Chains A and B, each alone.
Chain A
């Protein structure tokens, strides 16, 4: 259920993002989704890839600071108000979203939203209770 996301520390200098993506590509790891959080001094790159272990190995081997984070991927009905409904359910359960990012899946024509919660287990319970389906990790890696 929980999707393993690779988070990478980036300095805010030109060429840093390219360098990370090059290492991932060189290892033959394909990126399924990404988001970049940035401040004036540094950035955090978050990646969902098809082969997490290989990706982590490649990045650690080249001296990057990397951590694994558990996130949840939720399929959102691709229509107006689709995401709002999910957020309502989360807020009703008192769950705070640390961050999120979205992408559209070509195969199913549905939107997928990746959520980071402080407490992933509590979020799984709340989402299930609200009848919202969470994508299995394998499905996300294979998207």
Chain B
């Protein structure tokens, strides 16, 4: 544990601390950000109404489009002379969301990223290879400052140049790897081509995040690297990586909730949901000075685990691995379907993640789902019956896991549209009519 006093704080004490921090936060937001003042006034809530953490439910939500409308600096509560860093989202769906950090914000974030690394057992003696992108994206710099805070040696690789990543991983005796899970698989693939045996390296933990992944991918990564693969969560609006991280129990991500207060709500009604129930994850950044985020709707679907204290000794609550996003959740014949579930089935069958596309349509009053899967060499056979058996197996597994019957269509490689390296996963034709 990097900071036992904070991470193992008795729960009543933690709630009290959260309440005090919330009071300060709300006051700062109300006094410095016209956006919040207007929202609070519209809801008829004053900073004085907030006395404990339970009062958080009185506050209005902050939505991503609202955040975006404040471009560039409308959400800032601190003057530029106090801002020491600016990050921004990629802005693929419009103007980016811009976050300014004060020195305290950067320090707190580094503290949480250091706690994340320590969740995997990292100490000052470790060499941490950071293969997240450095730049406006928070992944690289977030983990970099975390590694330094921990006293470990940060290796700022950024992403790409995979052969060099592998060479230095080996020659520098890297013990901790930070990157996206799909990039980890890419590294393993290139290492195999280079005839490098990754299993001989002194790696012990990996912090993988910034994109949805599955238990099947974790198993695969742990077969390819001699490390414990841990899920890390963060988003640029809230801070960056290090909002939550799995401990070595590999069962849920500890939220560093003395800084980031989590809630789960019903995405339709906004009503708070009890622990153990699936809903939309909402964060309040209790200590943020630059951009004091209040009840920010992340659109990520997960739940707060309700299975009691964690054996690792941390008292913070844990969230489950992300189950999808409210904006890519599909409702097919009344059943909630996430692309990540389809992906999970395909990875289990094929051992690798194939390119796929989910096409949803409506015939008469009935929703239809088709899954197009690109046939790779590993899947291909010169015999019709084997390809048909593969198709039937996918169909059966989807039906078993998702409770939805889908038409499976095998398609040629490179026929599914890719945008900026990310494949488009869903085509919902129902919305077009």
- Given A9-B375, A65-B377: A41 in contact with B409 (beta carbons within 8 A): yes
Contacts of B383 in A (CB 8 A): 44, 98-99, 116
- Given A41-B410, A44-B387: A65 in contact with B382 (beta carbons within 8 A): no
Interface SS of chain B? loop
CB distance from A132 to the nearest CB of B (A): 23
Selected from A5, A16, A37, A69, the residue in CB contact (under 8 A) with B412 is: A16
CB distance from A20 to the nearest CB of B (A): 10
Contacts of A42 in B (CB 8 A): 375, 387, 410
Instruction: Give the size range of B's interface with the partner.
Output: 10 to 19
CB distance from B34 to the nearest CB of A (A): 53
Q: Report the Cα distance A63→B416, complex, angstroms.
A: 12
A39-B377 in contact (CB<8A) = no
Q: Report the Cα distance A46→B381, complex, angstroms.
A: 11
B419 at the interface (CB under 8 A from A): no
A66 at the interface (CB under 8 A from B): yes
A39-B384 in contact (CB<8A) = yes
B415 at the interface (CB under 8 A from A): yes
Interface string of A90-122 (1 = CB under 8 A from B): 000000001100000000000000001000000
B104 at the interface (CB under 8 A from A): no
Q: Report the Cα distance A10→B412, complex, angstroms.
A: 6
A23 at the interface (CB under 8 A from B): no
Contacts of A41 in B (CB 8 A): 391, 409-410
A46-B412 in contact (CB<8A) = no
Q: Report the Cα distance A69→B381, complex, angstroms.
A: 9
Contacts of A63 in B (CB 8 A): 412-414
A11 at the interface (CB under 8 A from B): yes
Q: Name A's B-contacting residues (CB within 8 A).
A: 5, 7, 9-11, 16, 37, 39, 41-42, 44, 46, 63-67, 69, 98-99, 116
Told that A16-B412, A44-B384, A63-B412 touch, could you supply 9 new A-B pairs with CB distance under 8 A? A7-B380, A9-B375, A9-B387, A39-B388, A42-B375, A63-B414, A67-B380, A98-B383, A99-B384
